[in-house]
Structure 1
Amino acid sequence: MRIRFLCLLLSILIFVFATADVAAFGNYSASDLENCNRLTTDSNSSGGFVYGFTGKTLYSSMLVPNHYNRYINVPYNIKSACQSGELSCAMYICDNKTSRYGISVINMNNGSIADYYFNGVNDAVSKMFSLSGNYAYFVRADATYSYVAVYGVDGSLKKKCNFGDNIYLLFNNNSITYAMLYDGRIYRFQGTGYTQVANIGRGVNAFNAGIGYICTESGMLVSLENGETSLVPDCSKNCVSAANGGFYTANGNRLIFSGKNVSERFIKLSSSIRCIVSCNGRVATLNYAYDYNDISDSELKSNSDSQIDSFNDNNSYNQGGIYKNDLQNSGEYRIEQDKYIVGVAPSTSVTSFKKNFSDSATVYNSDGNVMSSGNVRTGYTVSVNDHTYTIIILGDLTGEGNVKTNDVNVLMNYCVDSESLNELQVLAADYDCNGVVDNRDLVLIARSLK
């Protein structure tokens, strides 16, 4: 009896210590995110989040420091989403005739839900919005420029903020709202007031990259405190998170921490990294199967560790595990989500398209037949180096390989909430490649018809 008791006690101790070890490097699931057409990351002082939406449902997952998967259903199709601290927010149009807009939020820590409504947003030109404290921010337009309209959460218009240029991007970073203009100026809002904090140059796309930072597509990390910049090698959207004096990035299945004044460290994971978020000394990585790891910063190894030799990638991976060598001299082409070739111009011939690949590429139409002539279309696939990608043509929502009035009509119906888009159409409709499909894309696609 005593021996059995000792054996049982030993088993319990082994289980407890094993569980404690897993908790420090936990593996969890965020499978609800698979429903979303596109994902967005946000690292702020409340946690690290990945969120997205489809139809009338917003899905959000807190990956660190706590682990919550939540969703919220709203009465109308969601037009845009943002993260403000622990609040995941969805914006939708209640009534086009009266221009009544709604914002529904879910608290990711306790699951509570709140709804806010705003009347008379009749000249809104974009689906961009932000929620900070007791204020909501929308992009509207007058006869000259677009501007930021500041509302109270009670629905009252507080102020119209004009900058002498059009608004290019409205975003939330660590519960603070920022506006970026087409000329590159960035302003930080505090209630109805605002202050310029940086200038990154005209026509530069950028995305959130941790508390107080954004990152441009060219890999420039920009401080939202003083405008200082630093270079992030091999950056990609959703895979940069500034923290602890440096920044986390990904290379295939390797999570890397580096920076100007820090020693590079890394850890290898079992699968390729799709998203990175961080908070308070912890970092989480989401893979393409929608599983994620919650990792303590202390678990990353020094770059001088012998484990580095076992990662035999020969620098051939980009974020997502796709070989960089698949593409060569590709110009605007890029690989997204491990499975799409985006940035392809309308009316690109199969012959011209194949010249952008480093090895013999085979193009297939939507029926799976090999194509050796004609133009590539949205929904075609290309096989190269044992990888298969779906081709996305800019502005080609109808899968005809070019941009016509039909494409404009489809996007126009989407913008007025009378038609939905599938995943391929969302990627094709994002004409300015900023991660948001809105009226600006509609204008650019319509202009391309001329």
Structure 2
Amino acid sequence: MKRLISLLTAVILISCVSICKSRAYEEYNLSDLANCSGIKSDSNSRGGYLCAFSGNTVFSARLVPDFSSYNFTVNGHIKGVSQSGKYTYALVLEDTFTNKYSVYSLNTDNGNIFQSTFSNENFRTDSFSVSDNCIYYIKTDSAYAYVACVNLSSDKKTKITFGQNVNEVFNNNGKSYARLYDGSICKLSQTSSTRVANAGEFRNISNVGINKVINEDGFVVSLSDNSREYVSNAEFGKVSASDNKVFSVVNYHLSRKTSDKTQNVSIPDTAKAVVSYKNQCGVLLDNGTVQVYESSDFDEKKTADNNNHSDSSNSDNQAVISDYIFSDGIIYGVYSGETVADFKAKTSADAVYKSDGSVAKSGKLKTGFTTVINSKTYTIAVCGDVTGEGNVNSKDVTLLQKHLCGNAKLSGAFLKAADFNLDGKVDNRDLVLISRQKD
């Protein structure tokens, strides 16, 4: 069941000579963490975590499956934080003259802190990852930026090159990865790398769960098989995936999407970050409190809004059913490549009809197809398929360009099909997204 937790962080004091173990308090409040900029969320095999820093203090919290919260202060200059399993890491510049850095690791189970040091220069400090007792970061002293690795036990240094620039190093479920210039994502070891996925050229990414990241276009990309799933109105830090469920927050509503349906509950304040673990979802609210949602909250479809807020994008005539959205006689949120069989399996439709009225027994869905559900006729809109051909290609891009320029007019299901990001309007953002989906 949903529970509201008030949180007050424990304090860890660190001197330049020794590290004091933290103390955990009985009452908690995460307002200090919520006030930090650049909060990082990580949903991994140990739980759902948040970490951030402000000034020379690092903040860390686990929201699910149980709660723990710690912070610690350093004398050096914090360059960044990263989460890896149950450990929160901070990269700290200790001495600018000797280029001495420290990596502080916080065990979020017990508050213990360990410090490792190394020296290096000409590297980017805004992006790093720690795994298997090695720190990975980006060096810029060659024609192409590459990944440097330092074993924190032996101080052994190695480098991993790619023949193109490395844009980012990040951690996912305790393993280190690099995102390259062309969008490739490579899993790192101390001496080599393996390409596992592609998030799109120039597309920034954020962790959402085990073996999953989300790019800035709203696509959850699998680091296991490079498959992807679109999340409407996605914001970095406000989407989390676990056990084939995708949780996302828009305004005052939390959605849980599974393979066969999407359900919503209201939250009492706007969200700062979202994490998940198995069937639980933890939401850090702007006011610093934490809401934890479990399966029963969604199954019971609780929609009470304690602050009487409402999301204008969810009007009375709009209901979320299955993976699709039903509104004004149109079913949308259907993606290119979905078949008649897929659609019938996800809805109570007995039949799907082609534009000419004949029964579509199999094959891909097309914009303009119709169906009858609960005695009401709906027209199907396939995202990006503005021509009604059942796929997304250059013809769709050209027609949408003409519509945006006033040289053509889309209406009904075809206009809904043009709203690729499902934000309720058709604009250049949709044009860019559709152009990237061309078959």
1:238-290 deviation digits (Å, cap 9, x = unpaired): 1110122130001222211114x231122222222221101132110111101
CA contact under 8 A between 1:91 and 1:103: conserved in structure 2? yes
After TM superposition, give the deviation of residue 312 of structure 1 in Å. Answer: 5.1
Matched residues in 1 for 2:89 and 2:269: separation?
A: 30
Counterpart check, 1:296 vs 2:274: no
Q: Which residue of 1 aligns with 2:411?
A: none
1:208-229 deviation digits (Å, cap 9, x = unpaired): 1111111111101100111111
Matched residues in 1 for 2:171 and 2:199: separation?
A: 17
Matched residues in 1 for 2:91 and 2:198: separation?
A: 28
Matched residues in 1 for 2:216 and 2:61: separation?
A: 25
CA contact under 8 A between 1:26 and 1:295: conserved in structure 2? no
Matched residues in 2 for 1:277 and 1:124: separation?
A: 30
CA contact under 8 A between 2:79 and 2:125: conserved in structure 1? no
Q: Percent of aligned pairs with the same residue?
A: 29
Q: Which residue of 1 aligns with 2:25?
A: none
The match for 2:281 among 266, 283, 289 is 283
CA contact under 8 A between 2:252 and 2:309: conserved in structure 1? no
CA contact under 8 A between 1:211 and 1:242: conserved in structure 2? yes
Q: Which residue of 1 aligns with 2:104?
A: 104
Change (3 A) 1:110 1:140: same
Q: Which residue of 1 aligns with 2:52?
A: 52
Matched residues in 2 for 1:306 and 1:254: separation?
A: 9
CA contact under 8 A between 1:278 and 1:284: conserved in structure 2? yes
Matched residues in 1 for 2:124 and 2:272: separation?
A: 31
After TM superposition, give the deviation of residue 116 of structure 1 in Å. Answer: 0.8
Matched residues in 1 for 2:101 and 2:217: separation?
A: 35
After TM superposition, give the deviation of residue 148 of structure 1 in Å. Answer: 0.7
Matched residues in 2 for 1:100 and 1:307: separation?
A: 53
Matched residues in 2 for 1:258 and 1:152: separation?
A: 40
Q: Which residue of 1 aligns with 2:271?
A: 273
Counterpart check, 1:28 vs 2:6: yes
Instruction: Name the structure with the higher helix share.
Output: 1
1:59-91 deviation digits (Å, cap 9, x = unpaired): 111111121120111220101110011111110
- Give the residue type in structure 1 aligned to 2:216: E
How many aligned residue pairs are there?
291
CA contact under 8 A between 2:43 and 2:242: conserved in structure 1? no
1:369-392 deviation digits (Å, cap 9, x = unpaired): xxxxxxxxxxxxxxxxxxxxxxxx
TM-score normalized by structure 2? 0.62
Q: Which residue of 1 aligns with 2:230?
A: 231
Matched residues in 2 for 1:254 and 1:159: separation?
A: 46
CA contact under 8 A between 2:181 and 2:202: conserved in structure 1? yes
Matched residues in 2 for 1:153 and 1:123: separation?
A: 19
Change (3 A) 1:76 1:312: closer
Q: Which residue of 2 aligns with 1:77?
A: 77
Secondary structure at the aligned position of 2:209 is classed as: coil
CA contact under 8 A between 1:84 and 1:131: conserved in structure 2? yes
Change (3 A) 1:283 1:77: same
Q: Which residue of 2 aligns with 1:160?
A: 159
CA contact under 8 A between 1:60 and 1:71: conserved in structure 2? yes
Matched residues in 2 for 1:34 and 1:281: separation?
A: 24
After TM superposition, give the deviation of residue 151 of structure 1 in Å. Answer: 1.1
After TM superposition, give the deviation of residue 313 of structure 1 in Å. Answer: 2.7
CA contact under 8 A between 2:144 and 2:164: conserved in structure 1? yes
TM-score normalized by structure 1? 0.61
Q: Which residue of 2 aligns with 1:141?
A: 140
After TM superposition, give the deviation of residue 130 of structure 1 in Å. Answer: 0.8
Matched residues in 2 for 1:96 and 1:226: separation?
A: 43
After TM superposition, give the deviation of residue 95 of structure 1 in Å. Answer: 2.1
CA contact under 8 A between 1:28 and 1:293: conserved in structure 2? no
Secondary structure at the aligned position of 1:299 is classed as: helix
- Give the residue type in structure 2 aligned to 1:63: L
Change (3 A) 1:312 1:269: closer
CA contact under 8 A between 2:36 and 2:52: conserved in structure 1? yes
Matched residues in 2 for 1:72 and 1:203: separation?
A: 35
CA contact under 8 A between 1:82 and 1:88: conserved in structure 2? yes
CA contact under 8 A between 2:199 and 2:205: conserved in structure 1? no
After TM superposition, give the deviation of residue 55 of structure 1 in Å. Answer: 1.7
Q: Which residue of 2 aligns with 1:40?
A: 40
Counterpart check, 1:193 vs 2:192: yes
Matched residues in 2 for 1:315 and 1:51: separation?
A: 31
Matched residues in 1 for 2:303 and 2:194: separation?
A: 48
Secondary structure at the aligned position of 1:42 is classed as: strand
After TM superposition, give the deviation of residue 126 of structure 1 in Å. Answer: 3.9
Matched residues in 2 for 1:67 and 1:183: separation?
A: 39
Any gaps of 5 or more consecutive residues in structure 2?
Answer: 8-29, 316-439
- Give the residue type in structure 1 aligned to 2:219: M
Identify the range of structure 1 (104-113 vs 134-143) with the bigger mean alpha-carbon deviation.
134-143
After TM superposition, give the deviation of residue 197 of structure 1 in Å. Answer: 0.5
Matched residues in 1 for 2:311 and 2:4: separation?
A: 25
1:116-169 deviation digits (Å, cap 9, x = unpaired): 1112x1121343111102211121123311111111112523421000111111
Matched residues in 2 for 1:232 and 1:189: separation?
A: 28
Secondary structure at the aligned position of 2:101 is classed as: strand
After TM superposition, give the deviation of residue 25 of structure 1 in Å. Answer: 2.4
1:51-450 aligned within 5 A:
51-119=51-119, 121-154=120-153, 156-259=155-258, 261-301=259-299, 313-315=311-313
Change (3 A) 1:56 1:252: same
Matched residues in 1 for 2:124 and 2:114: separation?
A: 25
CA contact under 8 A between 1:103 and 1:117: conserved in structure 2? yes
Matched residues in 2 for 1:160 and 1:83: separation?
A: 22
CA contact under 8 A between 1:137 and 1:150: conserved in structure 2? yes
CA contact under 8 A between 1:254 and 1:273: conserved in structure 2? no
Change (3 A) 1:155 1:275: same
Secondary structure at the aligned position of 1:209 is classed as: strand
Secondary structure at the aligned position of 2:162 is classed as: coil
